[in-house]
Structure 1
């Protein structure tokens, strides 16, 4: 792990560290900060939406913890910083997953000494291999009634990949398990040059990015069923409707949704 961190090329922006910077974190480098500021200059609402994504995660985790969930499997986690799951519910057992070896190495170092948290290096597109990881039963025991984080993920996956992952998780999880998820949507008929440049930046960081519609998001999450209150804009989840303006739609009908889903 230390060798990976030492070998890290900090002159190249990394999506996980860019996200950390936009959240207000400190685990990032100058290249990450420059990339983030450039993306914010293209899409000024980026910081607002990213912070709402993290606020939804916190709200969902607290709700699920209050329902009795104490095992959280979080997919495509990024860096475990800025009030991530293990900080919001410190009594819970948490497994973070990411496919970026540098993010995992750095994240593991940050979590050192916490016996209730693990970090798995895995690509969620190979979901079957991930679910066979010995780390899961080592930390969760035989408990498969778990809370699964699927946040800011669908924008980086093809539709068939989302379907396969969602079905595999449904088959693996015990009845009563829940998934807390977010979805990045826009009007499919609208695109601006600035938004296209924003999307292209993710491509250059090795993380191709695309938007779904709300209808497609709902379809792709089946057979999981939406728990109350269903698929709702993040601003409604958080009671912040008055803080989203037309300018935040960025001329493309930009909207972020959150949902808690359940396996009956």
Structure 2
């Protein structure tokens, strides 16, 4: 298959990408036939997948608005995905034009489109890197963000693509330790909890589809997801089902937990 001129040479058009499938679920156009085929296979098993993707995007919007209200003007968006309506910089800079955002994603199409989208915006940058390579990400972040002031790290719908063997909890802890006091973590993560017993077989079929990508699913329990917030003070309403976090719409239940926490300020 001949690749279009804008497609990075590293993109394998014969293998679906979780990021490009997510773009498809959101109604985006930065995906290929192989991604649409895989995404449609998921939708045949779980027709609510597109709605779940939109609900997750809604949580991102609510979380960023909350963080801006807390005075945050620096964001490190890990696993940022392919640009679509309601990007972090759009939300943050609408409230504070001086807000700065670093987008990080391992998917080359996501970074290529982010770079094009951000041309002319000095407050937002995109780099290609894997959140598991903490040293590389932090090096890039220090070139863009001020680590003397609070930073919000966003890990929205990304850690469920990091297997236990890669120790996602250790990676989150390293980011936490590198952040200045008063910084924040916003996170969403898919879970099997709440899935009816007769739906577990469907979940296994969906996981089999994602095993064809470079990002197999690793769904976790509420307890495991809450553990990512170790060392953070979680704000109300806690680590809860996605639609229950400061809702402003009628998002339906999806099998995901979300939360926002702050790194304590000593003596505060």
TM-score of the alignment, normalized to the shorter chain, above 0.5: yes
Aligned-residue offset at 1:128: 2.2
**Residue 61 of structure 1 contacts residue 85 of structure 1 at CA under 8 Å; is this kept in 2?**
yes
Matching of residue 98 in structure 1 with residue 105 in structure 2: yes
Runs of 5+ unmatched residues, structure 1: 249-253
1: CA distance between counterparts of 2:105 and 2:135?
15
The structure-2 alpha-carbon separation of the partners of 1:243 and 1:80, relative to structure 1 and needing over 3 Å to count, comes to: closer
- Check if 1:36 corresponds to 2:39: yes
Matches within 5 A, 1:184-203: 184-187=190-193, 190=197, 192-203=200-211
CA contact (8 A) 2:17 2:215 kept: no
* Pair 6,222 (structure 1): closer, same or farther in 2 beyond 3 Å: closer
Query: What is the RMSD of the two structures over their aligned residues, measured on CA atoms?
Result: 2.4
Q: How does 1:139-158 map to 2 (within 5 A)?
A: 139-158=144-163
Q: 1:220 to 1:63 in 2, by over 3 A?
A: closer
Number of aligned residues: 253
Q: Tell me, in whole angstroms, the C-alpha distance in 1 between the residues paired with 2:196 and 2:241.
A: 20
The answer to whether the Cα contact below 8 Å between 2:147 and 2:179 also exists between their aligned partners in 1 is no
Matching of residue 258 in structure 1 with residue 252 in structure 2: no
- In the alignment, the residues of structure 1 paired with residue 163 and residue 228 of structure 2 have an alpha-carbon distance, to the nearest angstrom, of 11
Out of 19, 23, 43, the residue aligned to residue 22 of structure 2 is 19
- Contact kept in structure 1, 2:78 and 2:154, CA below 8 Å: yes
Cα shift at 1:12: 3.8
2:73 corresponds in structure 1 to 70
Tell me if structure 2 keeps the 8 A contact 1:20–1:82: no
Matched, 1:175 2:181: yes
Question: Given the two structures, how large is their TM-score scaled by the length of structure 1?
Answer: 0.86
Query: Runs of 5+ in structure 2 lacking a partner?
Result: none
Q: Relative to 1, partners in 2 of residues 1:206 and 1:137: Cα closer, same or farther, differing over 3 Å?
A: closer
8 Å CA contact retained: 2:103, 2:127: yes
Q: Which residue of 1 aligns with 2:87?
A: 84
- Does structure 2 conserve the Cα–Cα contact (< 8 Å) formed by 1:24 and 1:82? no
1:257–1:197 Cα change, 3 Å: same
Alignment partner, residue 54 of structure 2: 51
Query: How far apart are residue 30 of structure 1 and its match?
Result: 3.0
- Specify which structure has the higher proportion of helix: 1
What residue in structure 2 maps to residue 214 of structure 1? 222
Q: Go from structure 1 to structure 2 and tell me whether the alpha carbon gap of 1:18 and 1:189 turns closer, same or farther (over 3 Å shift).
A: closer
Question: What is residue 165 of structure 1 aligned with on the other side?
Answer: 171
> Larger deviation: 158-167 or 196-205?
158-167
CA distance in 1, matches of 2:223, 2:128: 32
Q: What's the CA shift for 1:6?
A: 5.2
Aligned to 2:63: 60
Distance in 1 separating the partners of 2:150 and 2:173: 16
- 1:251 alignment counterpart: none
The match for 1:231 is 239
Structure 1 CA distance for aligned equivalents of residues 239 and 47 of structure 2: 25
